[in-house]
A and B are shown apart, each in its own frame.
Chain A
Amino acid sequence: MAIDKKTVAHIARLSRLAVGEDELAGYAEQLSEILAAAEQLAKLDTEGVEPTAHAIPVHNVFREDVVRDSMPKEKVLANGPDVAEGMFKVPRILEEE
């Protein structure tokens, strides 16, 4: 499956990655090469083969629902790039009316 520049731009947008116009061709070529190698999997008949998500079967893990200490707010906020009034600040999300 060959990936063109337009597809790279689309995947970059889906991935929330700003990718420069000048980088699109390089990524297109590399991703195409990797996906071309992955095409070999199509040769294998996997009809009826159960997919493996985890090599060690992991089942739902339960614990008692008990109240425990949580992390203090100042520790949670300490790494925030922009913090105000005990909250993470981000650029405006809603348009002005």
Chain B
Amino acid sequence: MSLFALTAHELQEKLKTREITAVELLEDVYRRVDSAEPAVQAYISLHQEKALAQAEAADDRLAAGSAAVGTGIPTAIKDNISVAGVRNTCGSQILADYVPPYNATVAEKLLAAGVSVIGKTNMDEFAMGSSTENSGFHVTRNPWDLSKVPGGSSGGSAAAVAAGEAVWALGSDTGGSIRQPAALCGIVGLKPTYGLVSRYGLVAFASSLDQIGPLTKDVTDCALLLQIIAGHDHLDSSSVVRDVPDYLAFLRNSVQGLRVGVPKEYFGEGLNSEVRSAVEKAIAQYEDLGAEVVEVSLPHTEYALSTYYLIAPAEASSNLARYDGVRYGYRDREAKDTVSMFMQTRGQGFGAEVKRRIMLGTYALSAGYYDAYYKKAQSVRTLIRQDFDQAFAQCDVIISPTTPTTAFAIGEKAAEPMEMYLSDIYTVTVNLAGLPGISVPCGLDSKGMPIGLQLIGRHFAEGQLLQAAYAYEQAAGSHLLRAPLEVKANG
């Protein structure tokens, strides 16, 4: 049987009973990587030797009875999350050779749990994009249809999990970068509440929006991985001091009486009809399960994309000022003075989308335009947040499509930034309001491509969100779907 197709919780049982060893599991996943990777190209770097040593240590722990949640699970990590001694490119040529000297807190926690790190996954450069086509290295393909994008920016992590090239993965989400690729690749993806998971060691894009979160094959795995990474960290002063509940315990609760809010603004123009009917079917499923469906309104939704595309680039223009060729990363060696060194280094090291956003952000923050653009966007952000406050007075979770369409063709939107931005239309609001959001598989369209259902919860209500997601997943059976990726076995 192929171990690579199983979930972490299934594998954990087999590891605990010593039916399989962590080394056998790792080898099985690497065989899958060997056969699938030429087609999918989910990874920027693979770390087989280190992973083998980690799996051997995991077997020792399993034998000694000191295993934790995650021990021996082959894991992929997005290439903007620092793992000490391993290249962290952020999908950018400017960091092509950068090796972080320390672990991100989430990496530290995963390594302490005893996972094996298979490799670092491909992404849109500095997490700016919705298709992984903006990677400075290569394009990743959707395991459900190799001519389609996997979504982005955590497209490598989503594709790796969907293809069985990792059991689970970490991504980061600034405007949808976990949920959108999870939806497009038919897996589960969760963006936690802002402040639940430490961002220490995550390369900063837009600091008031960024969160690290899990990409997994089902909701149970999502709860397990979130459990490992959640919690306050004194190294990230935006992380919040509060107790982390037992997320798995929530999955046992029924959704009887749960109030599910349907925001009418998320079902308007631009929503593909097949996506719409799949989500409507899911809403009916919730009613069958005893939930109460209520209509809610998020009236400022139409302003969310513009708000996001001012705030995120403004923060990025400031965060990315550090790439100057002085202390790390690429440097243009021809320049004769420092200012031209900065300009040439950045001009050559960054790709087009990153430059576009740095310039947009610089403009929005510049004298004379600050009030009209940046401050205005921050005020609208308040209105968007208040929309959710009002909606959550009437309901417990909000339900919507994750994306307006299923995966689009590689190259289809690459030349049209505004077209590409539209694929984040249902996800950016969640980051602006700092809320948790999860994407769960919700069936396939007529071309066999996965559709994603988004559930949004109150601040720090991940437990309730996972409970609602789990109830749907179990009733619909959508978590059992696997990408029909057939690749030649080696040899």
Q: Using a CB–CB distance below 8 Å, which chain A residues touch chain B?
A: 3, 7-8, 11-19, 27, 30-31, 33-35, 37-38, 40-42, 44, 46, 49-56, 58, 61, 63, 71, 75-76, 78-82, 88, 90-93
- Which residues from B are CB-within-8-Å of A7? 363
Q: Give 25 pairs: A residue, B residue, CB < 8 Å, sorted on A.
A: A12-B359, A15-B317, A15-B359, A16-B324, A18-B340, A18-B344, A19-B355, A27-B356, A31-B360, A34-B417, A35-B373, A40-B303, A40-B306, A41-B376, A49-B383, A51-B382, A55-B435, A56-B194, A58-B237, A79-B97, A79-B98, A79-B329, A80-B326, A81-B329, A88-B327
Our pick among A17, A56, A80 for the contact of B346 (Cβ within 8 Å) is: A17
Find chain A residues with CB under 8 A from B379 CB: 46, 49-52
Give the residues in chain A near B337, CB-CB below 8 Å: 91-93
Ordered nearest first, which 10 A-B pairs have the shortest CB separation?
A: A55-B434, A18-B347, A51-B378, A79-B328, A46-B379, A81-B331, A61-B237, A18-B343, A75-B101, A52-B381
- Within the complex, the shortest CB–CB distance from B104 to chain A, in Å, comes to 15
Q: Judging by beta carbons under 8 Å apart, are B309 and A81 in contact?
A: no
> Smallest Cβ distance from B265 to chain A, in angstroms?
15
A-contact bits for B234-268, CB 8 A (1 contact / 0 none): 10011010000000000000000000000000000
Q: How many residues of B contact A (CB 8 A)?
A: 73
* Per-position 1/0 for B169-194, Cβ under 8 A of A: 00000000000000000000000011
How many whole Å from B89's CB to the nearest CB in chain A? 12
Whether B102 lies near A71 (C-beta < 8 A) is yes
User: Could you say which of A31, A46, A82, A92 contacts B356, with CB atoms under 8 Å apart?
Assistant: A31
Nearest to A59 among chain B residues (CB) is B237
A-B contact count (CB 8 A): 168
The answer for the CA separation of A8 and B359 in the assembled complex, in Å, is 8
- Interfacial chain B residues near A55, Cβ < 8 Å: 194, 208, 381, 385, 432-435
Interchain nearest-CB distance for B75 vs A (Å) = 25
Q: Nearest chain-A residue to B310 (Cβ)?
A: A38
Within 8 A of A (CB), among B96-119: 97-99, 101-102
A37 to B308 CA separation, bound complex (whole angstroms): 12
Q: Is the CB of A11 within 8 A of B366?
A: yes
A71 CA / B102 CA spacing, docked (Å): 9
Q: Which residue of A lies closest to B339 (CB)?
A: A16
**Which of B382, B418, B434 interacts with A37 by CB under 8 Å?**
B418
| B377 in contact with A17 (CB, 8 Å) | no
A8 to B310, CA, bound (A): 17
| Cα separation A16 to B335 with both chains bound (whole Å) | 13
Whether A78 and B341, one on each chain, are in contact in the complex, defined by CB atoms closer than 8 angstroms, is: no
Interface string of B349-385 (1 = CB under 8 A from A): 0100001101110110010000011011111111101
A90 in contact with B341 (CB, 8 Å): yes
Looking at the assembled complex, report how far the CB atom of A19 sits from the nearest CB atom of chain B, in whole angstroms.
6
Which chain A residues lie closer than 8 Å to B333 at the CB level? Answer: 81
- Cβ contacts under 8 Å, A78 to chain B: 99, 101
Q: For B342, list chain A residues within 8 Å (CB).
A: 16
B328–A54 CB distance below 8 A = no
Question: In this assembly, does B152 line the interface, its C-beta being within 8 Å of a C-beta of chain A?
Answer: no
Q: How far is the CB of B62 from chain A (nearest CB, A)?
A: 33
